[in-house]
Structure 1
Amino acid sequence: MFTDDTTLVELAKLLPQFADIEHVLQPPEVEARYILKRAAKHFEQLEANEDREELGYLVEALVDKSWERIHSGHFSQVPLTTRQIYALGCFYKIFLLLLDNSGVEQRERCSAILDEALLLGCTDNLYGQSNELQSALMKYLDDVEKNKNDPKPLPILEEVQRVVCRCDIPQLDAPCLSEFRACCYDALQPTLLLNTLNHWTALSKWRDLNYLLKMAGNRTVPIEIGSNYASDEWSQQLVKIRDFLYRQFGDTNRTKDLEVEYLAQHELFAQIPALKSDICVPDYCSVNTESTTPVDIKAWLGPKDTVSPMHTDPKHNLLCQVFGSKRIILASPADTANLYAHESEFLGNTSQIDAANLDFERFPLLSSVRFYELILQPGDCLYLPPKWWHYVRSNTPSFSVSFWFE
């Protein structure tokens, strides 16, 4: 055996055989096919090999080249094959590094590489055991954090008490699928759905931020800095969830000078499958039996005063509130011409207005727009049809999960 780390040997058995990934490596991916075929053969043997150093250089070069291809244009235009090759290269790179040294610093380095593979690559169901490999490898790498002394425990957030408040759209109490189809989906009617998330264990578990710290603290995620992505001061940064949680929630006397950070629109549950077991994809997402498009699941975690400016999304959306509350203001697609969308392609789905403080002098057409307002409270689920404008502001520390479907 090439190592006395029996756990690592067992993990290596979860790497793909070449036959498992050959479908990804069709022409013109000749170079990637050669390198990944060698890597697969190397780990199938699980024996010391004199060409391991050369293989390490080849895999490193493949990862670097794939990274450059991913960053050479708009991310949405990157071929799926490029992202899959990048992920596979990262998997092999991690194991080759761990063979040389599986100490604490090396594991932390490999943990960052794994996060890059999950963030930039396409890893979900890449091959038969890919999801199993990701979970097991994540646990192995994160074992170095078990004895990490965090500064102090994070708070357990108080449960937000439900209040009776304004709601300008229809409300339905746990509608059946046929009622949802008729009243919401087919009618394209925004609706507040009550008592549909009561079975989610996340409703109780996630208010304990120490649970999130334990489950996800060592993961690297993209964080939005600044309360509003349409502002000039807005930026993004890759940070560990641990650091984000302590900065935004660890100080009960949080000062106004601290920048608002937002884990927004992130595929957290693909990156951390263990958290996905605390929620369920609502049955309403399957209302269109002819759709073969998978449901997009996004996480939204942040302190009080995070803002998503008035914008639209192209798909049907179920916005589910786990903890905290949010003020939401809606406008119909029929009012699009009066909502002053940005002219840039990047912000073309976003309005220039501040929906919470309307400026009729600057934007006179707003006087003809009908706005709808509501408060999204813990356990609530807001159905939004495609192209409906929505502004979202957190009244408290908040965790939401959105499900986009067709």
Structure 2
Amino acid sequence: MSSGLEPPLWVAARALLPGPEAELALPLDGAVEEWVPPLLRRCRALLEGAGRPGGARALRRAGAVLRDGAWERLHAAPWREVGEGWRRAFAYGCLFSALGELAAGRPAAPALRLCDLGLLLGRDVLGGALRRLAGLLRHRHRPRRPPQKVHRDLAPVPVVPPEDEVPHLHCPSLEHFRDNYLIPQRPVVLEGIMDHWPCTKKWSVDYICEVAGCRTVPVELGSQYTDEDWSQQLMTVGDFIDRYIVGENGVGYLAQHQLFDQIPELKEDINIPDYCCLGEEDEDNITINAWFGPEGTISPLHQDPQQNFLAQVFGRKYIRLCSPQDSENVYPHESQMLHNTSQVDVEDPDLVKFPNFTKAAFQSCVLMPGQVLFIPVKYWHYVRSLDTSFSVSFWWS
């Protein structure tokens, strides 16, 4: 290949992959249709000539055929039934398509979006190639203009009667937390345990826009997922901030567990709470979720299948909790899809339709920046953002 004729970004991108064609193994680790392996080998062969005239176009086309074919299989069955092979095939298609874009000298943004799609819907292949390429493109992509700061009056804080307030505890020992809260399954607000996390000093709307503004993520549209008009849409973090944080165009919520895998710079700013070591699994099996949205975003009363540490980075959240022993009194939906979600509007309950809701015993708190709420497994919890808010949750067993 003649590096003098190749776009510099393409040279840097190609250097992220193994050199000779013989070293570029493309395992699928799962069943796919017979047309996929030959197409994968064709993409690999085209990669070597992508920097020459006509090579980039051929690589883009082959990658697009692979990506589009795998996309159809990803959406032909329930997500849990999609085979590993098809997810990897989709990731390879996104990777080769992105490399074809760069070899053609096109801007970084379309290639970066392809990397994010591969990370979101596929698997990171070739030892983290998609993640490495996305990191390269983010640094080469023209930085977004930080969002204009909007000053809003703080929302009134709901009154929490002292007898209903979740207890607060400062940096308890592992033994004290285990014996008094984990084993008896009692909620508690932990203070001081995230004071050393870099995110507490670094993160803001502007910082999130700077670090992740050009990255494509799924955004939930609607104030809560039980609304009839609730939907999901792929957009960049910057567009999400412009529309729903700064622009106040309705309510959108960035709620996903892959954000920290997509953007390692953010993951480096958080720590898994030490108390998770009391669980049965290692750190690799702890699910870390990001929750970023404007004032007024609501998670209706629901329960999760694992223990949860909810860490508040910035903004405030009003939270109400109820023991699983009161499950009958909170009227879960009968459908399998929403069986873990209550039908009752916690802050404005219809007591004619749901009379036993008055029998449910609740605890409440306003979770402030720097505080971590322990939510025991299957504990019902309702969450409303009082401000623009960023939280991180850790699900563990």
TM-score > 0.5, shorter chain as reference? yes
Counterparts of 1:158 and 1:364, CA distance in 2: 36
**2: distance between equivalents of 1:27 and 1:200?**
42
- Relative to 1, partners in 2 of residues 1:138 and 1:30: Cα closer, same or farther, differing over 3 Å? farther
- Alignment RMSD: 3.0
Partner of residue 196 from structure 2, selected from 192, 196, 199: 199
Aligned pairs, number: 391
Mark the CA change 1:23 to 1:247 in structure 2 (over 3 Å): closer, same or farther. Answer: closer
Give the aligned partner of residue 8 of structure 2. 6
- How far apart, CA to CA, are the structure 1 residues paired with 2:86 and 2:58? 22
2:148 match: 153
> What residue number does 1:217 align with?
213
1:183 pairs, out of 180, 183, 186, with 180
What do residues 213-253 of structure 1 show as CA deviations (whole Å, max 9, x unaligned)?
Answer: 111111222222221111113222222221221233335xx
**Greater mean alpha carbon deviation, residues 79-88 or residues 8-17:** 8-17
Shift of 1:265: 3.5
Cα displacement string for residues 85-116 of structure 1 (whole angstroms, at most 9, x for unaligned residues):
211221111111221232x3xx3322222221
Shift of 1:184: 2.8
Structure 1 segment 130-169 matched on structure 2, within 5 A: 131-140=131-140, 143=141, 145-146=142-143, 153-155=148-150, 166=162, 168-169=165-166
- Report the counterpart of residue 284 of structure 1 in structure 2: 275
**Cα distance in 2, alignment partners of residues 64 and 97 from structure 1:** 16
Q: Confirm or deny: 8 A CA contact 1:322 1:379 kept in the other structure.
A: yes
Distance 2:275 2:153 in 1: 30
Partner secondary structure for residue 346 of structure 1: coil
Give the gaps of 5 or more residues in structure 1.
none
What is the distance in 1 between the residues matched to 2:337 and 2:22? Answer: 40
Q: Which residue of 2 aligns with 1:97?
A: 101
Shift of 1:41: 4.6
Q: Secondary structure at the match of 2:357?
A: helix
Give the CA deviation at 1:308. Answer: 0.3
1:44-89 per-residue CA deviation (whole Å, 9 max, x = no partner) reads: 6776487765554332211111111111122233223322221122
Name which of 300, 303, 314 aligns with 1:309: 300
Q: Is the 8 A contact 1:316 1:405 kept in 2?
A: yes
SS of corresponding position for 1:300 = strand
Name which of structure 1's ranges 230-239 and 294-303 shifts more when overlaid on structure 2.
Answer: 230-239
TM-score normalised by L of structure 2: 0.87
- For 2:364, the equivalent position in structure 1 comes to 373
How far apart, in 2, do the equivalents of 1:292 and 1:213 lie? 28
Q: Could you tell me how far 1:210 is from its partner in structure 2?
A: 1.9
Measure, in 1, the Cα distance between the counterparts of 2:228 and 2:137: 39
Alpha-carbon distance, 1:38 to partner: 3.6
Q: Using the alignment, how far apart are the partners of 2:30 and 2:386 within structure 1?
A: 51
Aligned-residue sequence identity (percent) comes to 36
Aligned pair partner of 2:348 in 347, 357, 361:
357
Return the offset for 1:260: 1.5
Name the SS for the 2:391 alignment partner: strand
Instruction: State how far apart, in whole Å, the 2-side matches of 1:48 and 1:154 are.
Output: 46
Change (3 A) 1:84 1:181: farther
Query: Does 2:63 match 1:59?
Result: yes
TM-score between both structures, scaled by the size of structure 1: 0.86
Partner of 2:222: 226
Deviation at 1:330, TM superposition (A): 0.8
Whole-angstrom distance in 1 between the partners of 2:22 and 2:149: 45
